[in-house]
Amino acid sequence: MPVEVIVKVLFILIVMVAGIAPVITWIERKQSAVMQDRIGANRADIGGITVLGLLHPAADVIKLMSKEDVVPDGANRVLHLLSPLIAAVPAIIAFAVIPFGGVYQFGDWTLNLVVADIDWGLLYIFAIGSIAAYGTVIAGWSSNNNWSMLGGLRASAQMISYEVTMGLTVVGVFMVFQTLRLSDMALAQDSTFRVFGFFDLLFGVDWFRGLDFVRLPSWGIFMQPLGFVMFLTAIMAENKRPPFDIPEGESEIIAGYHLEYSGMRFGLFFMSEFIEVIVIAALVATIFLGGWAVPYLSTDDIIGGVSSFFGVGFATGLCVVIHFHVFLLKVMALIWLQMLLRWSLPRFRYDQVMDLCWKILLPLSIANIFVTGVVLLWIKQ
């Protein structure tokens, strides 16, 4: 058991954190370049080989590592050195509850592709997220710089506000799937539902019997479309990347909370934002896009179809490979979507960010909870 956990943790650290995060910095540069009709990063090379600019992340790391680590005069030394870690660690340990595959049975051995399959998985993510706010706030305060201080203040106000909303926007999903365990949520989405079935369920009319073949995967995005949009907005605001980057707003407060950071300590803030992009993508994929589930092709279908040719063991192994890659594909699609939004929208003003949270998302999410509850009760009767 401990060996299995260690292998899973190493897998996540190597593939999800150390593997994807640097590539995302490249994706961000290339995607913005394509969107703005530029060429983008293509100069870093080893002996003339540039591999489409993929060497830039490596050059970045070498640059950040070799830079001097400056602690400004009058800064609180301990907190100043500590806050990049407070920002980066929650982002990494959030992966612990995200399932990157289902539960598989190889004879007597059960393979569950989650590090910690806990009953309160989403609450864990929210708890971890609320701790991550300190990295920014303390960085802003401990730098002994007014611009940093303003960034820290903005970050604390923004992150508290969006934490509340982020929690409320997914309550509808809890109600639909009746669970907080992320692996159960993904499992519940490994099926399909009749698109016109709601006429049957809500009004008791079966005019659309003939259209029963029109089915959609039972993903969260189809059950809670409003919840999907609101949750994505809230969690992107929580990550404080553009267009919600008021804590660092270059045009107003230079670089905000990480103004006084240099070298790899700045790099940690930088990386933690990108790791959070992956966490957001993985979380949204698990809650709303079915996680590892292949649309229209449930686990039983794959195992049932393949095992008659190659045996159950091979079929289950194939399932593991397919599910992990489908999950990775969904994560990549959501990373692409976040980059698209990041490069399409200009930075919101401070009051606009706050209005969006308290005057639009909060009332809408409460209305969403109410409507979901009414519909669920109606169906039950």
Partner 1 sequence: MAMTVLFYVFGALAVISALGMVLNLRNTVASAMSLVVTMVSLGAIYILLEAYLVAAIQIMVYGGAIVVLFLFVVMLLNLSDDELPPGGRQFFKLAVVLAGIVVLAQVLPALSQDSVLTAASEAVPEGFGGYRQVGLALYTDYVLVVEMASLLLLAAIVGALILAKRNID
- How far is residue 97's CA from residue 102's CA, in Å, rounded to a whole number? 12
Q: Which of 123, 214, 329, 340 binds partner 1 (CB under 8 A)?
A: 123
144 binds partner 1 (CB under 8 A): no
Site for partner 1 in 172-211 (CB under 8 A): 180
124 binds partner 1 (CB under 8 A): yes
Q: Would the CA dihedral through 147, 152, 153, 159 be positive or negative? A: positive
169 binds partner 1 (CB under 8 A): no
Q: Which residue has the tokens 């929650």?
A: 90
- Stretch binding partner 1 (CB under 8 A), from 103-111, 118-126, 272-280, 282-290: 118-126
The neighbour count for residue 179, using CB atoms within 10 Å, is 16
157 binds partner 1 (CB under 8 A): yes
Q: Cβ 181 to partner 1, closest distance in Å?
A: 10
Question: 160 vs 345, which CB is nearer to partner 1?
Answer: 160
Alpha helices in the chain (DSSP H): 2-11, 21-35, 56-66, 77-93, 121-142, 146-169, 171-177, 182-188, 197-198, 220-223, 225-238, 250-253, 263-288, 299-310, 312-344, 350-355, 362-380
Residues 6+ apart with CB under 8 A from 367: none
- Stretch binding partner 1 (CB under 8 A), from 29-37, 152-160, 196-204, 253-261: 152-160
**Residues forming a β-bridge with 111:** 104
Please count the residues of the chain. 381
120 binds partner 1 (CB under 8 A): yes
- Stretch binding partner 1 (CB under 8 A), from 160-168, 303-311, 316-324, 341-349: 160-168
- How far is residue 282's CA from residue 98's CA, in Å, rounded to a whole number? 7
- Stretch binding partner 1 (CB under 8 A), from 38-46, 157-165, 195-203, 220-228: 157-165
4 binds partner 1 (CB under 8 A): no
Q: Return residues touching partner 1 (CB under 8 A).
A: 76, 78-79, 118-120, 123-124, 126-131, 133-134, 137-138, 140-142, 149, 152-153, 156-157, 159-160, 163-164, 180
